[in-house]
A and B are shown apart, each in its own frame.
Chain A
């Protein structure tokens, strides 16, 4: 491995900040970067977070990526799918997910692309996105920021609700952080709109603009902070010792 900090590592570090200050809740990172990021949050600023082994048990330390000796997992609790539903309806969770589409309202789609009756591309189905979005805080990681992912108008099949319907959520609706391969964003712009918080190295505001299908505001053009040396060693030595993270951007 080269010592140069990779884009995946920059994204992991930035994404881990999403859970800052969350306290004792269930952190769920779905997919490569979100999962490592959740683990990094737990090992640095948010040690009270609860995490699963990727299946049914809560474990004391984040599960590293790839093959591991699970007999070393310190199991501390139980989190079946039924328990996940109970937990999330109570709001004690913050998930980071990767939808196929996102729009200016923060609505996302993992269900299908195109005409609903006979979709051009059938994806997973809405899964737990409607319930997640109306019940607890969520964040988003998009590895391929483009006008196909940040779509003009609205997403094809609204799987998770957005800010335009936030009043339906009993005050819980929040998209805390949006991390992409281009930069870091949130929805704290005027009227709950997307705003740019930082740009990854070598990326310009124009790069973001041509790859985003809707207007966004620019809160800051600073460069996304590099991971600290502590973060880098946790990512490289503890959370992802087989460097699976490098596959996400072909690094």
Chain B
């Protein structure tokens, strides 16, 4: 079994109008090399589900987003995402703005093949005002409580970035927080995982390594070898986020062409070289909060 694909082979599996879920959280462990590949393709009109960071911003800057399903978009140390803000303030994208936990609930419903999951979250807020498609259920038990029926967020494709993988799609997230990547994988028809390293199965660390295997390989349609593939986001414990680059990226919201020519008009290896090379990236310290 060999699921290893190139970035281009993943792009060939995608098409316009798809619903794509993106793993990671804010400026952490985003599959940025795959996002850059989408930006360089002619794919458009995507519905994107994300705990958003520069993945969302970059797709917005390239006009790839029809609709965004989100709880926040942030670069962590830089709280507000300039490209996403611009897209929203210019009314360029549709949004389904949800509580972070409602996003999880929607992914979980999809993962469990359920139409919805009930929750109180969202009641009493404008999340309901601005998402009139959200329906309610009444508890069938004696409490008769009225709850939000958070609909399943079914994904055509999930894109994730991990620390280690083998050719069969046994993946490992070594960083301390796996975020909600597992649910993205379970909610999607197909999941493509970029990985810092693609190793032989016997080099995955046996039982100790298996503790980092957050979802089973049957969910993984393709593995992409992408060293430094999360840059400029972090990939703990390998490297922290590149604050200097994130600042440059944010500033590019004013005039994007120069940034695009420098960083989006190239292969994944050329990109790494253009931002200082893999050694420099792997030396970026993890952030301290």
Contacts and interface: CB of A to CB of B under 8 A. Distances in A.
Contacts of B129: 158
Contact of B124 (A85, A157, A168): A168
Interface in B176-194: 176-180
Which size bracket describes the interface of B in this complex?
A: 35 or more
Given A54-B289, A118-B88, A131 B100 contact: yes
Given A57-B176, A118-B89, A128 B130 contact: no
A120 B176 CA distance: 37
Contacts of A111: 97, 126
A67 B289 CA distance: 8
A120 B97 CA distance: 17
Contacts of A80: 176-179
Nearest to B129: A158
A158 B125 contact: yes
B71 A127 contact: yes
A81 B179 contact: yes
A227 to B, nearest CB: 25
Interface stretch (B15-23, B73-81, B151-159, B216-224): B73-81
A16 to B, nearest CB: 20
A81 B103 CA distance: 13
Interface-central residue, B89, B98, B121, B124, by most chain A CB under 10 Å: B124
Given A53-B289, A169-B124, A121 B89 contact: yes
Interface string B97-118: 1111110100000000000000
Contacts of A67: 288
Given A121-B89, A126-B98, A131-B100, A82 B120 contact: no
B72 interface: yes
Interface in B215-265: none
B85 interface: yes
B72 A127 contact: yes
A38 to B, nearest CB: 14
B68 to A, nearest CB: 10
Nearest to B183: A82
Given A118-B91, A121-B89, A128 B124 contact: no
Which size bracket describes the interface of A in this complex?
A: 35 or more
A128 B120 contact: no
B123 interface: yes
A161 B99 contact: no
Given A122-B84, A124-B74, A161-B123, 13 more contacts: A78-B176, A85-B101, A85-B104, A89-B101, A107-B125, A118-B89, A118-B90, A124-B73, A124-B79, A125-B74, A128-B99, A133-B125, A168-B120
The 6 closest A-B pairs by CB, nearest first: A54-B289, A161-B124, A165-B124, A118-B91, A125-B72, A130-B99
18 contacts: A70-B288, A89-B121, A111-B126, A116-B130, A121-B85, A122-B84, A124-B74, A125-B70, A125-B71, A127-B100, A128-B71, A129-B125, A130-B124, A130-B127, A131-B100, A159-B126, A165-B123, A165-B124
Interface of B: 25, 52, 70-74, 79-80, 84-85, 88-91, 97-102, 104, 120-127, 129-130, 145, 176-180, 288-289
Interface of A: 53-57, 63, 67-68, 70, 78, 80-82, 85, 88-89, 107, 111-112, 116-131, 133-135, 157-162, 164-165, 168-170
